Every structure is written in structure tokens, then in C-alpha cells.
Amino acid sequence: MEPLASRSSRLLAILVDIFISALFRFVFLLITGVAEFSTFTDLKKVEKLGVGSSIISIICVVIFYILIPTYVWKGQTIGKRWLKIAVVKEDNQEVNLGTMFVRTIFSFLGYVKIKYLSFIVGIVAFIDPFFIFTSERKTLHDRIAKTKVIDV
């Protein structure tokens, strides 16, 4: 049985993943024309089309947080691979597509634009990472998907 990943490596992996996926999303938005700059010095004026931006964001979530950890690096996002940690099921089996989808449910619900649902999901998504400070080092999405993050 592999030891649980440290809290610091999990937090750093989350930050790396957020940065890389946001950068990818931004570049994808620019390439597709959903977002554009009036000038390169005016970074505040990024224009986005709501539906197009949401679709591209969901595609990025699927690629970075579901497909890569399921089929490319077996339980590892880019940040987790860099920090040598991985997601496995509670019984130490490799994760599958369904497991990774369940782990990512907060990300998907974050793009649903329903007034109160979006607010509640936002609060839960904000609080979720802080659950690694419990003795089990499991976030809410780990508990829901019955997974854990280990050192590899």
C-alpha cells in the first residue's frame, strides 16, 4: 500500500493544474476567436461569448481532469505527475472514466449558470480543497468518488 500524498504536494499539484489548464483554456479561446484582445497591452478587455466560453471550458476540464488521468497517465494530471502523486480508488485499483468524471463533478456544475446552484457549487468548490487537512487527507470529491491520492 502506497503512502498518502502530502498535503503540500496536493496543494501544489492543484495550483499547477489550475495554472496550466487556465493557460490552455485561454489560448484555446484566443485561437477559436471566442476571446480576443483589442490590443496586447489591454489585457482587461477580454471579450467572451458566454456559451462558447462555457463549452471550451468544459472541453478543457474533460481533457485535463478526466481524459489525461484516465487514459494517458493513470490517475495523474499534469500537476500530479510533476509532483509524483496519483489518484487511485480506495482499494488501490486504477481509476476509470466514471471515477474521474465523479471526481470532476464540481468543475462541471460550476459552468451551470443557475443563480443559486452556481453560488452553492462555488462555495463547495472553494471549501473542497481544504478537506485535505483532515486526518484522512481526502477532499469532498475524493469522498464522493471513493478515491485517495498517493505517492508514486
Q: Is residue 123 part of a domain?
A: yes
Question: Residue 36 to residues 43, 59, 111: CA-CA distances in angstroms?
Answer: 10, 19, 21
For 80-90, what is each residue's pLDDT tens digit? Answer: 999 999 999 99
What gap in Å lies between CA 65 and CA 72, rounded to an integer? 11
pTM (predicted TM-score): 0.76
Phi and psi dihedrals of 14, rounded to 5?
-60, -45
Instruction: Show the cell assigned to 103.
Output: 471526481
Amino acid type, 45:
K
Q: Is residue 66 part of a domain?
A: yes
* Per-residue pLDDT at 40 exceeds 80: no
CB within 8 A of 144, min separation 6: which ones?
A: 102, 103, 105
| Residue-number span of the structural domain to which 53 is assigned | 7-151
For 103-113, what is each residue's pLDDT tens digit? Answer: 887 666 766 66
The answer for 74, left when phi > 0, alpha when psi is -120 to 50, beta otherwise, is left
Q: Is residue 2 part of a domain?
A: no
pLDDT for residue 133: 87
Q: Is residue 1 part of a domain?
A: no
Q: Is residue 113 part of a domain?
A: yes
What gap in Å lies between CA 31 and CA 33, rounded to an integer? 5
The count of structural domains within the chain is: 1
Q: Is residue 15 part of a domain?
A: yes
